[in-house]
A and B are shown apart, each in its own frame.
Chain A
């Protein structure tokens, strides 16, 4: 009995690992395009997160106003640039800007930060 089970296990394993070679689905190595898209999406998310992080830092007084504005502007520019590349030239500047602000404010709401920004304690 154990030998039968063991053999069965081996057969299943062989079937599972052989399937990609014989199955109908075709695989390709990761393409440049795919990676570029994934990376740019990841980068964009990372920028959103960074913006919400520095919002929080500014709120809690971990960043000066000047630093904060400067970093935020830089991050926004990079995010907009990425969005532009992702969507091609199809959408207008203002639509992208709107998209960007929406993402950021959604993040901020989630963080339940007081909306005005700035250190509420000073």
Chain B
């Protein structure tokens, strides 16, 4: 099977090289057959990538340990379902997965490309082919998943234990797929730029492909965060780890793009912005590839540094030079149709948006790159930690949320249209009221209170728009739900966007709650003892062993009680004096009034072959707060060492996911069938024009 894989990779290499060269020469020399042939070659690369992937998967299924990659990432114990995960568990396989995804979406996007782009398609195809060529080349010559072992081992090393979870079926493919999919809008826009197609013809393709990759990337990040928090018991969900940052940065820039492109569509403005944003997003995606494929930044994800890092660095720099040379070359042509008329307008709010998103990106980029530069310059390792990102990005992110409330209320062009006072009155009132109520309730942390006010402001702005539109339709006779649905359906991009905005507000609630109001404590408990934090008491009631051939694993049974803090006032006072947020209790000290509210089973495992520990935290989650129990270790003396926290509003982080996906799908749902219908329209066509056109 290794032979077949290698042959397929070499074939793909030849095909993509042919496609790139053929497309350009064919276009330049006017050789129609060559252009068609080059496009067909691009379709065939998909088959080549699929065959190579099939060969690797087959080798896993057959336990073919003569292949190094298979021996490194699986063994006979591995559940066959995890073959799919093992496929991309290492550098080589994940590159093959990325190539497979790229070649499939490339083929689809070229196949479905609108005819009016015919003139720029050869260029788009050439760009896509060059990018595939790069991956085929790397896989064939530098990081082959089909490398053979001299002596065939009896069994493989096994799959990384962190990956043996259903979450791993989706998180890595989504992130790698989302990052590589940014190639598509980039290739279409760059193709149009080269062909001198500066108009707005590429907008629809770019918008749809951009939103797809953006939605996939966003979903993948959320899943990664959810998984780190819920399953892996990391205690947090976002650590400003370089790998997280390199996924976040292109996502932010794409968010700016999908808003900014609306201005081009509606008002014929922001052309340069939009092209530049896509260029930046694409280069950032390449940065992500570089950092992840053996780049110099150490992270949970990154693979051991290798020559691969250098190759990806060069490719990233090449994309940077290409994108911006093209931009500078075509810049004079990308004029706006008109100038901004007022700063209180929808287009102005999108302009501010672009700056805000770019500034979060820039701060994050600096945090990723600074350690690299200082490493090179002074030979000391510096790491930039979470507080830097929080402090520098926090206020701008809040600004973005504020804009999310203001922007949609502003009309296009200038603000005379809507009575602004009328539209801003309710959101402002509710926002201010929220702040007042929170202050009156004695809630601490001014920044967080302000942020809650902002969330309320935006939520009211969206509700107001929905309320008015729904009420109008309700008056016309629809029931409320139908009326709302009709409203949404009537302008899906807009209302899909609002649903996404709501998901961002939910995410915001979770971020504010967990960042500003988290309480933590830790302690070690013997059987029968309890740990008290706030108004929870966690009692260690039992344990069990789940060791297997590949792991030493234990779980604890814990009962969670809600306590009346008055019952424990003396202990609480003592703990407070010592500056502790929790304390432990003997069984005999427990008060009888405590109410049992949950059972949790934190789990702790150690994998000697990988020298790796893995935990599953015990979580009791409500929409108000999570009680989060991490089993740090089962100690030799029979005690269990725990880290416990209360994470307010954490539930909202994960609840936002379905709304994010729903809103993205609503926004993407094909708007209408005008295009299709119009094909049947009787506009007389010259008969000789129908056949054989490219």
Cβ of B40 and Cβ of A30 under 8 Å apart?
no
Q: Is B694 an interface residue (CB 8 A)?
A: yes
Cβ of A39 and Cβ of B486 under 8 Å apart?
no
Task: Say what secondary structure dominates the interface of chain B.
Answer: helix
Closest Cβ of chain B to A17, distance in Å, is 5
Interface string of A1-41 (1 = CB under 8 A from B): 01101110110110011111100011111110111011101
Closest Cβ of chain A to B88, distance in Å, is 22
Cβ of A19 and Cβ of B40 under 8 Å apart?
yes
Closest Cβ of chain B to A84, distance in Å, is 11
Q: Is B674 an interface residue (CB 8 A)?
A: yes
A2 contacts which chain B residues (CB < 8 A)? 1-4, 7, 55
- Residue on B nearest A28 in the bound complex, by CB: B32
Q: Is B518 an interface residue (CB 8 A)?
A: no
Cβ of B118 and Cβ of A30 under 8 Å apart?
yes
* Separation of A86 and B683 alpha carbons in the complex (Å): 7
Cβ of B7 and Cβ of A62 under 8 Å apart?
no
A16 contacts which chain B residues (CB < 8 A)? 40-41, 43-44
Known: A5-B4, A27-B33, A27-B694. A17 touches B418 (CB 8 A): no
Residue among B43, B417, B418, B476 making CB contact with A114, cutoff 8 Å: B476
User: How many residues belonging to B are interface residues under a CB distance threshold of 8 Å?
Assistant: 71
Cβ of B118 and Cβ of A20 under 8 Å apart?
no
| Interface segment, one of B177-185, B386-394, B465-473, B613-621 | B465-473
Closest Cβ of chain A to B126, distance in Å, is 15
Residue among A10, A12, A113 making CB contact with B490, cutoff 8 Å: A113
B3 contacts which chain A residues (CB < 8 A)? 2-3, 6
Task: Say what secondary structure dominates the interface of chain A.
Answer: helix
* Separation of A62 and B413 alpha carbons in the complex (Å): 9
A21 contacts which chain B residues (CB < 8 A)? 33, 37
Cβ of B201 and Cβ of A56 under 8 Å apart?
no
Known: A10-B7, A27-B33. A67 touches B116 (CB 8 A): no
Q: Is B379 an interface residue (CB 8 A)?
A: no
Q: Is B689 an interface residue (CB 8 A)?
A: yes
Interface string of B324-363 (1 = CB under 8 A from A): 0000000000000000000000100000000000000000
Cβ of A41 and Cβ of B417 under 8 Å apart?
no
Closest Cβ of chain A to B136, distance in Å, is 13
Residue among A9, A25, A107 making CB contact with B47, cutoff 8 Å: A9
Known: A20-B40, A60-B465, A111-B491. A31 touches B32 (CB 8 A): no
Interface string of B489-518 (1 = CB under 8 A from A): 111001000000000000000000000000
B40 contacts which chain A residues (CB < 8 A)? 16-17, 19-20
A17 contacts which chain B residues (CB < 8 A)? 15, 18, 37-38, 40-41, 44
Cβ of B689 and Cβ of A57 under 8 Å apart?
no
- Residue on A nearest B493 in the bound complex, by CB: A53
Closest Cβ of chain A to B198, distance in Å, is 13
Cβ of A37 and Cβ of B685 under 8 Å apart?
yes
Cβ of B11 and Cβ of A34 under 8 Å apart?
no
Residue among A10, A28, A41, A61 making CB contact with B692, cutoff 8 Å: A28
Residues of A at the B interface (CB closer than 8 Å) are: 2-3, 5-7, 9-10, 12-13, 16-21, 25-31, 33-35, 37-39, 41-42, 44-46, 48-50, 53, 56-57, 60-64, 67, 86-88, 90, 103, 106-107, 110-114, 120-121
Pick the 8 closest A-B CB pairs, nearest first: A6-B7, A2-B4, A27-B32, A38-B116, A111-B490, A20-B36, A2-B3, A62-B411
Residues of B at the A interface (CB closer than 8 Å) are: 1-4, 7-8, 11, 15, 18, 30, 32-38, 40-41, 43-44, 47-48, 51, 55, 114-116, 118-119, 199-201, 266, 346, 411-413, 416-418, 423, 465, 468-469, 471-473, 475-476, 486-487, 489-491, 494, 671-672, 674-675, 677-678, 683-686, 689, 691-694
Contacts A16-B43, A17-B44 aside, 10 further interface pairs with beta carbons under 8 A come to A19-B37, A20-B36, A29-B30, A33-B689, A38-B116, A41-B683, A57-B412, A62-B411, A103-B678, A112-B489
Q: List, sorted by A's number, 17 A–B pairs whose CB atoms are closer than 8 Å.
A: A7-B7, A10-B7, A28-B693, A28-B694, A29-B32, A37-B685, A38-B115, A41-B678, A42-B114, A45-B675, A56-B491, A61-B423, A63-B417, A90-B684, A106-B674, A106-B677, A112-B473
